[in-house]
Structure 1
């Protein structure tokens, strides 16, 4: 007596468990964001408390609205945005949409107010870094717009990539402090050109790290969704 072979299909690809602590990246981003957040809070205290006007802060007292908008929007964008890198929250549709509805306008306000200040605030330390500020401020604005365009097309991969780039630019003030401070301790106060180069280096570092995570996420995603045709093990049991 012969029966038909029974075939058991066992896929060889299983979801790869996440490695490392899931809070490591958000925690690092929050710590990095605390540098500009604390500096912004100090600036707000000066404006509200009526601090003495100096050459360093005169432009803020002369036109306080842009800097207040920038401080508030950057604070929301940097701190709330860090939680978008937490897989447990990012995977929740409700959370991601709610947070995105706050982050997108906050990021746009942060970029636009930063561009306005770069273009119209007189800088007491020179204007060598103005072109760099305008370049990366524009890049942040374009990244967020492209991220929104991608999600409207349901292209979630590009959406995540562009929003990651925009966030990397937006939190570069913290990296700038980490780059400029060692220079000041080891070399001294940088001149205009050196300061502009150090600020540029901080933005480049952030974007390089962002690209690393974007490509890493793409590789992991391609492994998870790889076609199972060649990786399916077939076991045939024939009983007679």
Structure 2
């Protein structure tokens, strides 16, 4: 196996490993919402308005699971149709994840352990993720592959970093 082949597999594998954190936390939250869990002060906001959190969890899970394969050069080269189809799914998933996250930050009651600084960071990072995805989409429409790649990588990195850091802090 060549060095580039190993690197081509290492990146998506590492990204999938990082994705375990938000996907696992999301699955636990969905189980809580659908399983009739006891309503506590910590989860009451989700039961009061479950649609944003369900949209967020489903879109994040798809974005985290499918996204790493967009970074594999062999897939982009040998299966461009798959890359395009996955991208057409990932763009709305990324936007839904960021928009629902912004909505929850702005409109859900804030937990006691979340201050103004953390809320501000969430607003900045969510907005930056949306902007990155939209700029990446605009670039590919112009057939500017280098800018498309750079903006989509930024959008993915922002989303994965925010989710991973937040869920790690809860553990």
With the length of structure 1 as denominator, give the TM-score of the two structures: 0.65
Deviation at 1:32, TM superposition (A): 0.2
- CA–CA distance in structure 2, aligned partners of residues 177 and 74 of structure 1: 13
Deviation at 1:21, TM superposition (A): 3.8
Deviation at 1:19, TM superposition (A): 6.0
**Corresponding pairs, count:** 166
Give structure 1 stretches of 5+ with no counterpart: 1-16, 185-240
Query: RMSD of the alignment, in Å?
Result: 1.8
1:1-240 mapped onto 2 (5 Å cutoff): 18=4, 20-91=6-77, 92-124=79-111, 125-128=113-116, 129-172=118-161, 173-178=163-168, 180=169
Deviation at 1:18, TM superposition (A): 2.4
Judging by fraction of residues, say which structure has more strand: 1
Alignment partner of 1:96: what SS? helix
- CA–CA distance in structure 2, aligned partners of residues 116 and 52 of structure 1: 24
Contact 2:25/2:167, CA 8 A, preserved across alignment: no
Contact 1:35/1:174, CA 8 A, preserved across alignment: yes
Larger Rg: 1
Give structure 2 stretches of 5+ with no counterpart: none
Alignment partner of 2:6: what SS? coil
With the length of structure 2 as denominator, give the TM-score of the two structures: 0.91
Return the structure number with greater relative CO, CA threshold 8 A, min gap 6.
1
Judging by fraction of residues, say which structure has more helix: 2
Contact 1:32/1:175, CA 8 A, preserved across alignment: no
- CA–CA distance in structure 1, aligned partners of residues 34 and 4 of structure 2: 46
1:179-201 deviation per Cα after TM superposition (whole angstroms, max 9, x unaligned): x47xx8xxxxxxxxxxxxxxxxx
Deviation at 1:120, TM superposition (A): 0.6
- CA–CA distance in structure 1, aligned partners of residues 100 and 108 of structure 2: 11
Contact 2:101/2:126, CA 8 A, preserved across alignment: yes
- CA–CA distance in structure 1, aligned partners of residues 13 and 96 of structure 2: 24
Alignment-derived partner of residue 227 in structure 1:
none
1:104-147 deviation per Cα after TM superposition (whole angstroms, max 9, x unaligned): 01011001101100111112223331111000000000000001
- CA–CA distance in structure 2, aligned partners of residues 177 and 142 of structure 1: 23
